[in-house]
Chains A and B, each alone.
Chain A
Amino acid sequence: MARMVTTRQVVVSTAAAWLFGFMIFFPILWMILTSFKSELDAFATPPVFLVFHWTTENYATVQERSDYFHHALNSVIIAGGSTLIAMLIAVPAAWSMAFSPTKRTKDILLWMLSTKMMPPVGVLVPIYLIFKYFGLLDSRVGLIMLLCLGNLPIVIWMLFTYFKEIPKDILEAARMDGATIGRELVYVLTPMAVPGLASTLLLNFILAWNEAFWTLNLTTLEAAPLTTFIASYSSPEGLFWAKLSAASTLAIAPILILGWFSQRQLVRGLTFGAVK
């Protein structure tokens, strides 16, 4: 019993939705367009929209000027490393809380989440001094540890939410059929857990990739990921719009594509399943 929908309604809502979507997306689109312009076209008044001399030289210049690949590699290592370590610590924890809960499980979960509420700026000074003392400033290892700990509560929560939804009946059925714990883990549980593991992995990679507070304050050059690389374009001598746009496009492209793939899980992950 679908509701009756007239063609006119569809046309109107389609037009409105596309207009709205286009408006929201426009700054990104404009940035991508600008990245293919010459600096002269990028500054042109009135602005040129599609008819200009398309060029990819900005991308080459960006790489020459500040070694995009060095920073991109740092981003991949830092975001990837912190995500993987967080998963290694979080999977067993979420697993045990979901499958062998005790009276204190809920308190532990809430306490874990509450560590996320601590604003980074509140502990910036001690972290900065600790890093200085141990020679971790501007090092990838230091950032990996920091982002891993910062995201750990969210990773555990997301995994817990997914694991808890795996029906226990199936486990019992497998046991009745005489499956050993090892077989149960490999053939029954793992296949059911993979989607949750994958989307948690993706989302935390995205969070770590975009994290700007710690990366801006604790890196200068060696370990600087893309967030810092882009911020260097905010200085007066960096004000070349086409190059800025090319650098920005390069910095967000990988994560935007990943994000689009995981958008359906995003809602559940970020609200801990409170909204379905």
Chain B
Amino acid sequence: MATQQTQGLARMLLAPSVILLFIWMIVPLALTIYFSTLHYSLLDPGSESFVGLENFQYFLTDPAFLASLKNTLVLVGAVLAITILLGVPFALLLDQPVIGRNIVRLMVIAPFFVMPTVSALVWKNLLMHPVSGLFAWIASLFGLPAIDWFTDAPMLAVILIVAWQWLPFATLILLTALQSQDGEQKEAAEMDGAGAVSTFIYLTLPHLARPITVVILIETIFLLTVFAEIFVTTGGGPGLQTTNIAFLIYSQALIQFDVGNASAGGLVAVVIANIVAFFLVRIVGRNLEA
């Protein structure tokens, strides 16, 4: 039935989205590349001049770049580690016969729907506040001094907030994968005298390999661009301690008004994201065929 006519129709239906996405991809990118070669400061209008790769040199050798690259990697790595290492046991737990499982499920998934600005503010003020936050009170119950999170351990604080938002995602994906696991295989293993530990290592873990990769790759894409949590809690500080690449470029563009330098940074961010995207697209592409 796939005649010339339906083929033509199909192309017509596809065209608008392809054209729009192409413009959306190419126009800002081309402009970013153009700006990145200019000396262009919003504080100094009319003085734009071509400077070649100077902005890149400036951006890449700026100590703030290395610091923010490190912070970006620490943030992504730590949140991934927390969400996977806790997500697996939590998913296993929720896969057990639990009374009221649906309610537990709703409680666990809830943080995923909380907008980042809200979760940042609630954690910063209600929980982590060094004087009247709940954590300070809990510490005092044990006779411990309260931690001034955003002064003494700002990065850890940001990591905790972001991990809290993403743990539900990991848990839910892994739980869904567990529930599709073949029960008979597990029974057979039990009949053959396999213990819980070896069943987990030889059956469950391999079964979770694919969902874990999916979780890692999808989270990575979102975590590379964490912005609101930092914007609302620490503003990148103290010093550069919680400045990630996204926040560094933001501060260069809209706080220091240095468009040229920010554009160079933007392109660096695009390159980093594309290295990650390369792997994601390959894996998702493979799943597409299955």
Tell me the A residues contacting B by CB distance below 8 Å. 1, 3, 5, 9-10, 13-14, 16-18, 20-22, 24-25, 27-28, 30-31, 34, 43-47, 89-90, 92-93, 95-97, 99-100, 102, 106, 108-110, 112-130, 149, 152-153, 156, 175, 206, 209-210, 212-213, 216-217, 226-228, 230-231, 233-234, 239, 241, 244-245, 248, 251-252, 255-256, 258-260, 263, 266-267, 270-276
Contacts and interface: CB of A to CB of B under 8 A. Distances in A.
Nearest to B259: A125
Contact of A121 (B103, B115, B246): B246
B121 A233 contact: yes
Nearest to B225: A119
Contacts of A99: 10
A256 B250 contact: no
Given A110-B281, A256-B114, A275 B6 contact: no
Contact of A270 (B169, B267, B287): B169
A228 to B, nearest CB: 8
Contact of B262 (A10, A124, A149, A251): A124
Given A10-B99, A18-B104, A30-B127, A152 B254 contact: no
Given A117-B274, A272-B284, A248 B121 contact: yes
B126 interface: yes
A145 to B, nearest CB: 9
Nearest to B133: A47
A275 B210 contact: yes
Interface of B: 1-2, 6-7, 9-11, 13-14, 16-18, 20-21, 24-25, 27-29, 31-32, 35, 90, 93-94, 96-101, 103-127, 131-132, 134, 137, 164, 167-169, 172-173, 176-177, 180, 183-184, 186-187, 190, 210-211, 214, 218, 221, 224-225, 227-228, 231-233, 245-246, 249-250, 253-254, 259, 262-263, 266-267, 269-270, 272-274, 276-277, 280-281, 284-285, 287-288
Nearest to A153: B21
Contact of B115 (A89, A116, A212, A241): A212
20 contacts: A14-B99, A17-B104, A20-B90, A20-B108, A27-B164, A28-B114, A44-B132, A96-B10, A100-B2, A114-B277, A117-B221, A122-B266, A124-B250, A125-B253, A156-B17, A231-B232, A252-B115, A259-B109, A271-B218, A275-B210
Given A43-B132, A93-B16, A149-B20, A125 B180 contact: no
A205 to B, nearest CB: 11
B100 A18 contact: yes
A272 B277 contact: no
A30 B246 CA distance: 30
A10 B97 contact: yes
Contacts of B7: 100, 102
B113 A117 contact: no
A122 B169 CA distance: 26
A212 B127 contact: no
B265 to A, nearest CB: 8
Contacts of A22: 107
Contacts of B250: 121, 124, 217
Contacts of B109: 259-260, 263, 266
B284 A241 contact: no
